[in-house]
Amino acid sequence: MSMNPIDFSNENKFLYRRVKKICRRAIQTPMPQELLPDALQELQLALEKLQLAEEELRQQNEALLDTQSLLEQERQRYQELFEFAPDAYLVTNGQGQIQEVNRAATQLLQRSTTYLTGKPFATLIAPTDRRSFRLKLAHLAQHGHEQEWELTLQRQHGNQLEVALKVAVVRDAQGQPSSYRFLLRDLTTQKQTEQQLRSVNAALMQRATLDATLQQISNQLRESLDEPQILQTVVQELTIALNLVACDTGIYDLEQQRSQVNCTYTAPTAVLKPSQFRAVDMKEFPECYRQLLQGQEFQFCELTTDPARSQVSILACPIVDHQDVLGDLWCFSSCETALTPHQVQLVQQVASQCAIALRQARLYQAAQTQMMELQRVNALKHDFLSTVSHELRTPLTNIKMALHLLQITKTEAQRTRCLEILQAECDRETELITDLLDLQQLEAESYPKFLLEAITLPEWLPTILAPMQQRVQAKHQQFTLNLPTTLPRMISDRASLRRVLLELLRNAQKYTPAKGEIALEITHDPDDGTLTFILRNQAEISAIELDRIFDKFYRVPQANSWETSGTGLGLALVKRLVDHLQGKINVISQNSWTTFSIKFPTQFRSSSTLPTGEPA
């Protein structure tokens, strides 16, 4: 039976009174006198010891009360610190049941103190982390004192929360876990910051990669001046760098409103295979090409029943510079990995570099073409000078020879023949000089005005063809003339028309082999009021040479350039005279035949000039 200090003091006083009473009775009781004082003295000493013990006990009791007061103050202080701590704390017993939980923990877990107290802490952990939590806690109970983990808590309404968990184990005298103290810290802000940092780093890495890709593509484009190679480099490098399904490029023909797809590149594993070398009519996709022609890119997914195309995201980007839209780039990627804004920006930058490279390639090609043309013209001029020198020297040589023969000849017939040679060579010299002067005047638009006359072709044409027929017969060639007698009269310049026809006939006779055919036909189209002169000869001109025959100084190449006379001015002069006569000339050459077609109006279209000559 325990006794508090007050009861002990009262009992001590009661005992003291009993001792005094015993002493009084002992005096009255008969007993040996010599033993009584000793007994009383011992009893007195016992009482004094009891009094001393009482005083010590009182002092200890006061100290104990002071200690209890301090402990209560410290407990209250700890409870306040625990309750109002900014971090979430909770305490469990050795079996993991929650015993204490502070306010921050209830807010973090979105549960009340009443709900949490007595609950197993493991029930608050997400199912995916419970097994790992139990294993770590069991290991801590056996071998550890304090550890830190990261796990996911299951909050109210199924919400999950990532936390950092610091757990300390409290052990009893036998070293067994008696309780666990948990510190919970919300990782939401930290995780968001880490995610943002990872996103920023990924964006920076992607940007650095894209910049390196742009630099690589730009370097390759600068190294090439070949347009097909430039386009192929662009589509291939973009497909590889952006992990595209495919990429193609089209070059615009703005006059025809068409886009020609020239280059494509497809990833080896792709199902979609864009077709190459196809023309796209811009009118079939007006909305797409309206944006592209305005220099705007766009990205879309195509709605189609084709499974290969329905899973594709498409970016269309114009190839544009400061002058015009040159073409476009089409990038095909899977819908799951549509191009990001940074990737779209890369495509735009590559398209700009491509536009610059295309301009440079075209300027280079134009310069090369111009250089080749200048070299060709220079060669033609050199050939022309050699030919003119030859053509001018030949008549002069013949004239000198004829004059020498005149001096030594004695018969009248020989003198007459020499005079004919002189006349022919003088005419030849005059004709050459006249051709040169007329061509120069036609180019300078200073050619004399035409003398318009009414020409009756059935009567006039045979007269100018007679000398030509003699040369044809001398070369054993066949000449046919189809000249309807019902042709209307033609209002034109007789001299210019004569020069055109004779030059064409002379040219045909020159290049037609022996026994070859030459045919001239004139037709009338009353609907548009035109006459067409069709000259056919049995000789073929290559397609390459056909485009140049109307150039100045140009002559169809021959094995020996001196075998055929001429300066290369004849057809150039014909072309300009036909234009001056308001006509059109065309030429085709195929199947060993060459056909010249010249169409003239029957009425010269000039309100200020009237026919002044007499009908032929």
Q: Residue 35: what pLDDT?
A: 60
Candidates 584, 558, 557, 554; CA nearest to 571 is 554
Rounded Cα–Cα distance for residues 564 and 398 (Å)? 17
What order of strands is seen across the sheet that includes strand 160-171? 98-101, 88-93, 177-186, 160-171, 146-154
Q: Is the pLDDT of residue 29 over 80?
A: no
Pick the closest to residue 121 from 165, 55, 56, 73 (CA basis).
Answer: 165
Lowest mean pLDDT among 64-68, 244-248, 306-310: 306-310
Q: What is the pLDDT of residue 271?
A: 66
**Spatial separation of the C-alpha atoms in residues 104 and 88, rounded to whole Å:** 5
586: CATH: 3.30.565.10
Q: Which of 130-134, 339-343, 526-530, 555-559 comes out lowest in average pLDDT? A: 555-559
Q: Band the pLDDT of 23: cuts 50, 70, 90.
A: low
Residues 56 and 122 in one domain: no
Pair (516, 594) in one structural domain? yes
CATH number at residue 301: 3.30.450.40
Q: State whether 118 and 253 are in the same domain.
A: no
Cα separation, 354 vs 435, whole angstroms: 50
> How confident is residue 530, by pLDDT bands cut at 50, 70 and 90?
very high
What DSSP string describes 378-438? HHHHHHHHHHHHHHHHHHHHHHHHHHHHHHH--SHHHHHHHHHHHHHHHHHHHHHHHHHHH
Instruction: Tell me the Cα Rg of the chain.
Output: 60
Look up residue 349 and give its amino acid. Answer: Q
Encoded tokens for 268: 């080896």
Q: Write out pLDDT tens, residues 57-88.
A: 888 888 888 888 777 767 666 666 666 677 88
Both 142 and 273 in one domain: the answer is no
Give the Cβ contact number of residue 564 at 10 Å: 12
Once rounded to an integer, what is the mean pLDDT over residues 466-483?
86
How many Cβ atoms from other residues are within 10 Å of residue 241's Cβ? 19
Long-range CB pairs of 155-158 (<8 Å, 24+ gap) are 155/109, 155/110, 155/111, 156/109, 156/110, 156/111
Assess whether 452 and 597 both reside in one domain.
yes
Give the C-alpha separation, 557 to 548, whole Å.
11
Query: What dihedral do alpha carbons 407, 408, 413, 418 form, nearest 10°?
Result: -50
**What's the confidence (pLDDT) of residue 420?**
82
Q: For position 614, what pLDDT does the model report? A: 45
In a domain, 178, yes or no: yes
pLDDT bucket at 326, cuts 50 / 70 / 90:
very high
- How many CB atoms within 10 Å of residue 188? 10
Range of the domain at 325: 225-368
Q: What band does 442 get if pLDDT is binned at 50, 70 and 90?
A: low
pLDDT, residue 606, reads 61
**Cα(202)–Cα(340) distance, integer angstroms:** 12
Q: What does the alpha-carbon distance between residue 301 and residue 591 come to, in Å, rounded to a whole number?
A: 53
Confidence of residue 272 (pLDDT cuts 50, 70, 90): low
Between 335 and 615, the more confident residue is 335
Q: What is the mean pLDDT of residues 554-578?
A: 66
* Same domain for 239 and 180: no
CA distance 168 to 147: 7
Residue 611 has pLDDT above 50, yes or no: no
Average pLDDT, the chain: 82
| 586 and 469 together in one domain | yes
Long-range pairs, 467-473, Cβ under 8 A, ≥24: 468/502, 468/505, 468/506, 468/509, 471/509, 472/509, 472/518
Mean pLDDT within 474-495: 89
Domain assignment present for 232: yes
| 89 and 178 share one domain | yes
Check pLDDT > 50 for residue 613.
Answer: no
Structural domains of the chain, count: 4
Residue 205 lies in a domain: no
Instruction: Tell me whether strands 160-171 and 278-281 are parallel, antiparallel or unpaired.
Output: unpaired
Cα distances (Å, whole numbers) of residue 445 to 269, 441, 448, 497, 575: 65, 6, 9, 18, 14
Answer whether 189's CB lies under 8 Å from 162's CB: no
Between residues 443 and 58, the one the model is more confident about: 58
Q: Which of 144-148, 305-309, 324-328 has the lowest mean pLDDT?
A: 305-309
- What does the pLDDT average to over 171-187? 90
- Domain end position, chosen among 50, 81, 112: 81
Question: Residue 113 is part of a domain; what is its CATH number?
Answer: 3.30.450.20
Main-chain phi, psi angles of 584, to 5 degrees = -135, 135
Whether the pLDDT of residue 562 is over 80: the answer is no
The tens digit of pLDDT for each residue in 104-153 reads 888 888 889 899 999 999 999 999 999 999 999 898 888 878 889 899 99
Nearest to 487 by CA among 616, 588, 582: 616
**In the chain, pLDDT over 90 holds for what percent of residues?**
29
Mean of pLDDT values over 88-98: 91
| 30-39, 94-103, 331-340, 369-378: least confidently modelled range | 30-39
Residues 64 and 91 in one domain: no
pLDDT (0 to 100) of residue 607: 45
Q: Determine, yes or no, domain membership for 119.
A: yes
- Residue 603: partners with Cβ closer than 8 Å, 6 or more residues away: 491, 529
Whether pLDDT at 236 is above 70: yes
**Rounded to the nearest 5 degrees, what angle is found at the Cα of 116, between the Cα atoms of 112 and 117?**
115
| Average of per-residue pLDDT across 501-519 | 89
- Residue 560 in this model has a pLDDT that exceeds 50: no
Which is more confident, 73 or 258?
258
Nearest to 113 by CA among 145, 79, 144: 79
Looking at the structure, tell me whether residues 559 and 491 fall in a common domain: yes
| Residue 585: CB atoms within 10 Å | 19
156-159 contacts: CB < 8 A, separation 24 or more?
A: 156/109, 156/110, 156/111, 159/110
pLDDT on residue 451:
80
Residue type, 400: K
Residue 3 has pLDDT above 60, yes or no: no
In the predicted structure, residue 316 carries a pLDDT above the cut 90:
yes
Tell me whether strands 530-537 and 584-590 are parallel, antiparallel or unpaired: unpaired
> Does 609 have pLDDT greater than 60?
no
CA distance 189 to 177: 33
Which of 186, 207, 235 lies at the terminal end of a domain, its last residue? Answer: 186
Percent of the chain exceeding pLDDT 70 equals: 82
Please tell me the predicted confidence (pLDDT) of residue 555: 67
Which residue is listed with tokens 């291939």? 236
Q: What is the pLDDT of residue 64?
A: 85
Sheet of 593-601: strands edge to edge? Answer: 478-482, 517-525, 530-537, 593-601, 584-590
Q: Determine the average pLDDT of the residues in 268-282.
A: 74
Length of the chain: 616
Is there a domain that residue 564 lies in?
A: yes
Residue after which a domain boundary falls, among 157, 186, 215: 186
If asked whether residues 181 and 51 sit together in one domain, one would say: no
Do both 66 and 154 map to the same domain? no
